[in-house]
Amino acid sequence: MTDEIINLTAFDGAALDRAFATLEHQARTAAASLSTEADVEAFRLQWLGRKQGRLNDVSSRWLKSAPPEAKKALGLRFNALKVVVEGLLDSATGAGPTDAALAAEAIDITLPGTRRLTGAEHPITKTLNELSGIFAALGYSIGVGPEVETDFYNFESMNFPPGHPARDTQDTLVVANQERRPLRDRLLLRTHTSPVQMRTMESQPPPVRIVIPGKVHRNDAQDATHSPIFHQVEGLCVDKNITFSDLKGTLDHAMKALFGSSVKTRFFPSFFPFTEPSADVQISCIFCGGKGCRKCKHSGWIELLGCGMVDPAVFAFAAEKQPGYDPKKISGFAFGMGVERIAMMKYGISEIGSLYAGDMRFLGQFA
């Protein structure tokens, strides 16, 4: 039998039937004489080889040279011949795989299975959820808002007047090419989650109790304790007769729930544009119990967050859309804390960059 495939000169149905019948006869004749594995492999290469196989030659010579009207009929016959050749090859190799092949493919069910890595919450996510859960238990809702904010919500409505240092591009990451927009409409990456406070007050009348976890951005240089991207949890409580005592009791409870019942809190006067009066909150050092150590600079106290009573000027902005925020009738408090700082304290992390490096060896500690 010759390996050469002759060129077709006629492509009518009868000519195609004769040509493919001849090829099928040749294949069956060749398959009938197969006796060894070497013969079977030679047959496979002769007929099904990708480069020099006879079926590949048929495709190259006949299918490509056939007129368009004959390609469908020729293709059907070609596929039928291929099925026949593959069937002859299967028959030549036996009814099924050999015992050796079966043994090679067998699965030893006594072997241990593939061990999957145990997932775990990232320390930042874990701390965010823990803080949110503490305030949720006090009746607070979760507030969310956009990370790309307008100057109005990020600064103006929070009582940061034009010219305030916090608006400077040295502190704030602003979106470029907005010089033609009014100042209050210009876009920036929010520097705190406080805009969600205003968005919430504009969308619903008092009373309001929300806690706002989220990502914020500031143009800070990266070092051991600072990052241009970090997370905050802020809170807002607005109702009738809310006092500073309510604020102190809320934060004292939250710090005890977070760090343990032995933790003490103390408040120092401070300044924030959106609260008056304002305070910094310190907790007794969780590492030395307030005795003094390197962690607390031997003071026994660690500054952790800021807070204060909501400034009437902030309520005035909210009252433009919700008249219920009349500072003569309602009052409220707000607070905010950095999540990374708390996570680093709770889990003994010395470099803030470790939280963002994506090192599985580091993250595996929390699984």
The 3-class secondary structure across the chain, one letter per residue, is: CCCCCCCCCCCCHHHHHHHHHHHHHHHHHHHHCCCCHHHHHHHHHHHHCCCCCHHHHHHHHHHHHCCHHHHHHHHHHHHHHHHHHHHHHHHHCCCCCCHHHHHHHCCCCCCCCCCCCCCCCCHHHHHHHHHHHHHHCCCCEECCCCCEEEHHHHCHHHCCCCCCHHHCCCCCCECCCCCCCCHHHCEEECCCCCHHHHHHHHHCCCCEEEEEEEEEECCCCCCCCCCCEEEEEEEEEEECCCCHHHHHHHHHHHHHHHHCCCCCEEEEEEEECCEEEEEEEEEECCCCCCCCCCCCCCCCEEEEEEEEEECHHHHHHHHCCCCCCCCCCCEEEEEEEEHHHHHHHHHCCCCHHHHCCCCHHHHHHHC
**Model-level pTM?**
0.66
Residues 174 and 86 in one domain: no
Average pLDDT score over residue span 86-107: 66
Contact 158, 195 (CB under 8 A): yes
Residues 213 and 292 in one domain: yes
pLDDT at 95: 44
The number of beta carbons lying within 10 Å of the beta carbon of residue 123 is 22
Residues 158 and 199 in one domain: yes
Those residues with Cβ within 8 angstroms of residue 165's Cβ, 6 or more apart along the chain or in another chain: 171
- Report the percentage of the chain scoring pLDDT > 90: 50
61-70, 90-99, 274-283, 297-306: the lowest-pLDDT one? 90-99
Residues 18 and 163 in one domain: no
Residues 151 and 264 in one domain: yes
Residues 212 and 242 in one domain: yes
Reported as a single tens digit per residue, the pLDDT across 139-195 is: 999 999 999 999 999 999 999 988 888 888 778 999 999 989 999 999 999 999 999
Residues 80 and 133 in one domain: no
- Domain-located, residue 173: yes
Domain boundary among 76, 105, 134: 105
Residues 252 and 217 in one domain: yes
Average pLDDT score over residue span 116-145: 91
- Domain-located, residue 8: no
- Domain-located, residue 116: no
Per-residue pLDDT at 334 exceeds 70? yes
- Domain-located, residue 118: no
- Domain-located, residue 246: yes
- Average pLDDT of every residue of the chain: 87
Highest mean pLDDT: which of 36-45, 123-132, 223-232?
123-132
321 lies in which domain range?
Answer: 123-366
- Domain-located, residue 7: no
Angle among Cα 225, 165, 280 to the nearest 5 degrees reads 55
Average pLDDT score over residue span 203-208: 94
Residues 58 and 169 in one domain: no
Residues 175 and 80 in one domain: no
The pLDDT confidence band at residue 99, using thresholds 50, 70 and 90, is low
CA distance 246 to 231: 25
Which CATH number belongs to the domain containing residue 213 in this structure? 3.30.930.10
Residues 78 and 153 in one domain: no
Those residues with Cβ within 8 angstroms of residue 131's Cβ, 6 or more apart along the chain or in another chain: 211, 213, 233, 254, 258, 337, 339, 342
- Domain-located, residue 311: yes
- Domain-located, residue 96: yes
Domain boundary among 75, 105, 135: 105
Domain boundary among 105, 134, 155: 105
Per-residue pLDDT at 127 exceeds 90? yes
Residues 176 and 283 in one domain: yes
Highest mean pLDDT: which of 94-98, 114-118, 316-320?
316-320
In the chain, how many domains are there? 2
Reported as a single tens digit per residue, the pLDDT across 256-285 is: 999 999 999 999 999 999 999 999 999 999
Residue 306 vs residue 111, higher pLDDT: 306
